[in-house]
Amino acid sequence: MPPLYIFIVSLLCSLNTLPWSAADDTLATGQVLTADDKLVSRNGKFALGFFQPDNGISKASNTTITSPGRYLGIWFNKIPVFTTVWVANRERPITIPELKQTHLRISGDGNLVIINHATESVIWSTHIVNRTETSINTSVVLLNTGNLVVQGSSGVPLWQSFDYPADVVIPGAKFGWNKVTGLNRQVISKKSLIDPGLGSYSVELNGTRGVILMRRDPPKVYWSGLTSPTLIPELRSLLDMDPRTRGLIIPAYVDNGEEEYYIYTSSDESASSFLSLDMSGQIKLNVWSQAKQSWQLIYAQPADPCNPFATCGPFTICNGSSNPICDCMESFSQKSPLDWELGDRTGGCTRNTPLDCALSSNSNTTSSTDMFHSIAHVTIPYNPQTIQDANAQSKCEQACVSVCSCTAYSYQNGICSVWHGDLFSVNLNDGIENHSEDVLYLRLAAKDLQGLRKNKRKPIVTVVTTVSITTLVLLMLMVLVMIWRNRFRWCGAPLHGSDGNGGIIAFRYADLAHATKNFSEKLGSGGFGSVFKGVLNDSFPVAVKRLDGARQGEKQFRAEVSSVGIIQHINLVKLIGFCCEGDKRLLVYEHMLNGSLDAHLFESNASALNWRDRYQIVLGVARGLSYLHESCRECIIHCDIKPENILLDASFAPKIADFGMAVFVGRDFSRVLTTFRGTAGYLAPEWISGVAITPKVDVYSFGMVLLEIISGRRNSPEERTSGKNHVAYFPVRAISKLHEGDLMSLVDPRLHGDFELEEAERICKVACWCIQENEFDRPAMGVVVRVLEGLHELDMPPMPRLLAAITKCSDVPST
């Protein structure tokens, strides 16, 4: 029975779903929470568990940067962008070797503790004081608000995470202090994107001084806001002006005999937001956008991101109107580029060339060839030293150069200021809150300063030559464009995103006919044409797709050049070029030595893929789809994910191919209405209903492909002719066996049991969540990647209603 028919029939059958098993939100005395467990609030919005921070894919190394340790924390459970709202052991990460020996439990004295059960050493504890009940009556509950509460039998909180915030405040949490107990809910920024430890900045409510933002080391207040009756109305007015927060965020200020605090609530319990103190020292309010599937910045204070003290580290210049805001001073380089990428700029920048300064052996004078470079329109650095008798700029410069530790000077309005050692908070006049016209003279080695001056003279000397050459080149390009349009006049309609096709080659048909030996070696064929093996320049192997059919071939040709031509990713097939002559449409791709995935999974004469290669393929395809959905300028929905469109290189690394059915979704939209497309057996249910689609159609297809990779067989049902006919639909069986804990019967028997059980279970869970009939229940591909990398956990998936209906209608056997 065709899978498409099964979906249609199933819609007519009973759609009673299996009961949903909600995750537990409570940890009782005697129970433990291990590294693989988590508590989930009753509304499913928040989760508590052990996590490992990561920064996604590094721009520099193209690899995932992860923290060396694990932490206990609370995060938004339903949001695909992993976002923590509280961390327990910020200063004591759990090392990977001790992770399996570590769990969370209620100790004998009633405290909640993270403990290494092998050594009985406490990693973190709540430190509850003035207890009146025994631990037998104690329980820990993760509330719907995201507040973790330790409570006695009466339900009165003995301790709560809302009183000990990390770097985030969420709706319902108080930000302020208790006048009776002295409890101060201070918020401290984290160190970096992969280190939630105590960072450089803090914010607190401090009596008459109001909200205080300060640098922790050295201690320095850089922003304060007095608490007053006018502050909340002004904030409400600001929030009501923004359609994203109008009526959603409700701030309040309370000051009584016991407490003083700010608090904000949300009128929509399903909405998600958080207020954070980020690594650069700014308070930021973020609201989750379901349409854009990302956090949207609503409010920031201070308004100028350069306002926090030393936000860019030593020897840097901060410009609040640029992105990124931090840059090194001339002739300086980032001390640690990796730390900068992770948001930690405390190390700042270091000199490219050391200063030339030495104390004379026969006197107390110095000998130096150093010179000074002027930096205009900046704020002068922190902590200057004033030179009283330097009443001219020349004397001020001499006062600095005569001391080897002096790094800069400034002479403004007859006042000479010098600095020794590191320079902090040099901020450019960016027109936001900084309007400084001061000039800083930076001390540099003579070699570096001479290089700067040469670089500045070069544009002036060569400007006439450059203009002449540019004009000539433009004239030549105009001629070439005219020739191109005349030669390829039948290709005149613009390609989507064709302005980004850099590097794609336009081939002549005769050259491709020669490269493929007149299309003699066929690699395969599809609905729109055939693929042939070719060799360019007698050494570079390629695959040449020759498209058939004027109308459909033209549509696929434009779709493929428009999509593959503007993207680059290690798990997407690379488009080398195209040919467009007369009615001929050809596409030239890099040649994949091991062909398509379906040949290795389903052909009887093919050797079975080992488990390592299968898992590499699963992870690679997930990363490729995540890139298409979440990282391109426009979201690209492939629309035809199946084993035939997954190619394998010499090392069996996967590359997604065949973008002829791809559609584009602008970042301002969440879905698109398009014609029916795809392949039976991999189609999401929403295709049949005719609604506008989202990237979740690819997620569904990916889930179906995962099941085929696991089993080494087609998902398509097979009719048994012996006795009564039964439909053995593998996805139904997979979810049933997953719930039973019987993975061995699902894995390809050709592996003879040689596979990783934990990875197989992870793939099965991901697959079964991906094929849920409700698109909102399917995870985004970014989440899928995190799960497959072992950085995120998924609950046991329920049986989708459509598959349950198939089971009921078809009387599917369980084995």
| Residues taking part in catalysis | 640
Q: CA-to-CA distance for 292 and 303, rounded, in angstroms?
A: 24
Tracing tokens 């103190």 back to the chain, one arrives at 277
* Both tokens assigned to 620: 């690679």
Residue burial 759-774, b: 16+ Cβ < 10 Å; e: rest: bbbbbbbbbbbbbbbe
H or E segment and range at residue 613: helix 611-630
* Both tokens assigned to 403: 């001391």
| CA angle at 379 for the pair 356 and 227, rounded to the nearest 5° | 140
Q: CA-to-CA distance for 559 and 571, rounded, in angstroms?
A: 19
Q: CA-to-CA distance for 204 and 777, rounded, in angstroms?
A: 39
DSSP assignment of 129-155 equals -S--S-GGG-EEEE-TTS-EEEE-TT-
Burial class (CB in 10 A: 0-12, 13-18, 19+), 550: exposed
The one-letter code for the residue type at 129 is: V
How many other C-beta atoms can be found within 10 angstroms of the C-beta atom of residue 17?
A: 15
Handedness of CA 304, 305, 311, 316 (dihedral sign): negative
How many other C-beta atoms can be found within 10 angstroms of the C-beta atom of residue 731?
A: 22
Q: CA-to-CA distance for 498 and 750, rounded, in angstroms?
A: 46
Q: CA-to-CA distance for 317 and 424, rounded, in angstroms?
A: 9
Angle between helix axes 611-630 and 757-770 (nearest 10 degrees) is 40
Tracing tokens 């040689």 back to the chain, one arrives at 754
3-class secondary structure per residue, 711-763: HCCCCCCCECCCCCCCECCHHHHHHHHHHHCCCCCCCCHHHCCCCCHHHHHHH
* Both tokens assigned to 668: 């301002």
* Both tokens assigned to 169: 């405040």
Residue 337: asked if its preceding bond is cis (omega within 30°), the reply is no
The sheet with strand 157-160 has its strands ordered as 26-28, 139-142, 148-151, 157-160
388 Cβ contact list (under 8 Å, min separation 6) = none
149 Cβ contact list (under 8 Å, min separation 6) = 140, 141, 142, 143, 157, 159, 160, 161
Q: CA-to-CA distance for 633 and 112, rounded, in angstroms?
A: 46
| CA angle at 355 for the pair 354 and 359, rounded to the nearest 5° | 125
* Both tokens assigned to 184: 């101060």
Tracing tokens 């709706």 back to the chain, one arrives at 171
